Amino acid sequence: MLLRTLHDPQPARGRLVWVDGQFLPSASPLFTHAEWQGAQLLGFGIPLIAHGTTARQLPAYFASLSTQLSLARMPFPAGLTLETLEKAIATLLNRNRHFSTTLLLLEAYLHYERDLLGFENATTSLAISSLPAGCATYVEPERPVFLEFYKERQMPIGPAAGIRWLANPVEWYAEHYAARFGRDYGILLNAKGRVAGIPGRMLYIYTPEQILVTPPVEEGAVDDPIRLMIARTAPLSKRVVAVEEHPLMPKQLLEAEQIFLASTWYGLERVVGIGNYWRYKTDVTPPLTDMLNRVYFPERVGQTQ
């Protein structure tokens, strides 16, 4: 997992962020209070990983950005292409002196600009921030994860359900609910009572038939492009026959042989129990983590062989 950060050679006050083509100090006040409120309500984020000065699997993440902008009914940023985004990331990493493995956060905000005639037009601002990761590649977490079902509030369902909104009260309540019971994360359910996932993470079950199953984004699962990488690489493992996406009921989690979480920033996190009970094996994730490292960090894998 890439949760912990290393010493940042560029202190927070001097670190830069990229905002709509400009490089600004991260401490700069970008919004008025009213604009900040709107950005939180009408904004979403996409996590990425870079190594050296190159964002990994950027075409898949750019496609996810395009899809989420369309589903959120936000205007596509003027002049933004895969090439301009790649260049912006490389320049930002150079200026911040982030040359190893780096966590990137791409944030899109909806706001309104007044034109010369006095009319307000909707536009989308894009911001990119960077922070060094605590590990050079994905590694197995130091401790296993415990989950707890959170049933008081539900995630929405539908095509836009997988957007990772910056302000999501359901995720916030689920995190605090899990912490109150000493669990790591709360399991989110959708309006149909089916499993959506974990705040900021996707959830996979491993069945006795050696199939990985995860809820689709329409069920409320977060739209993280790492799901594409898992779908491509996991069937190459001797332990996985296929990867499928279909709705999951809470009962299926309790009957699963193994469960793990997946996200771009944290890699694969093995789950050992729901509630107070240790229920699951944890031997399916190590070979899958190795395969993800070959996808995201091929040069690092080559150095360790």
Domain boundaries, the chain: 16-132, 145-299
Average pLDDT in the 165-181 region?
Answer: 87
SS (H, E, C) the chain: CCCCCCCCCCCCCCCEEEECCEEEECCCCCCCHHHHHHHHHCEEEEEEEEECCEECCHHHHHHHHHHHHHHCCCCCCCCCCHHHHHHHHHHHHHHHCCCCEEEEEEEEEEEEEECCCCCEEEEEEEEEEEEECCCCCCCCCCCCEEEEEEEEEEECCCCCCCCCECCCHHHHHHHHHHHHCCCCEEEEEECCCCEEEECCEEEEEECCCCEEEECCHHHCCCCCCHHHHHHHHHHHCCCCCEEEECCCCHHHHHHCCEEEEEECCCEEEEEEEECCEECCCCCCHHHHHHHHHHHHCHHHHHHHC
pLDDT tens column, 81-120: 999 999 999 999 999 999 899 999 999 988 777 777 777 7
Q: Which residue has the higher pLDDT, 182 or 62?
A: 62
Instruction: Say which CATH class 16-132 falls into.
Output: alpha beta
Confidence of residue 278 (pLDDT cuts 50, 70, 90): confident
Average pLDDT in the 207-231 region?
Answer: 95
pLDDT surpassing 50 at residue 1: no
Confidence of residue 3 (pLDDT cuts 50, 70, 90): very low
Average pLDDT in the 227-247 region?
Answer: 94
Confidence of residue 26 (pLDDT cuts 50, 70, 90): confident
Which of the four CATH numbers 3.30.1360.10, 3.90.870.10, 3.40.50.740, 3.20.10.10 does domain 145-299 have? 3.20.10.10
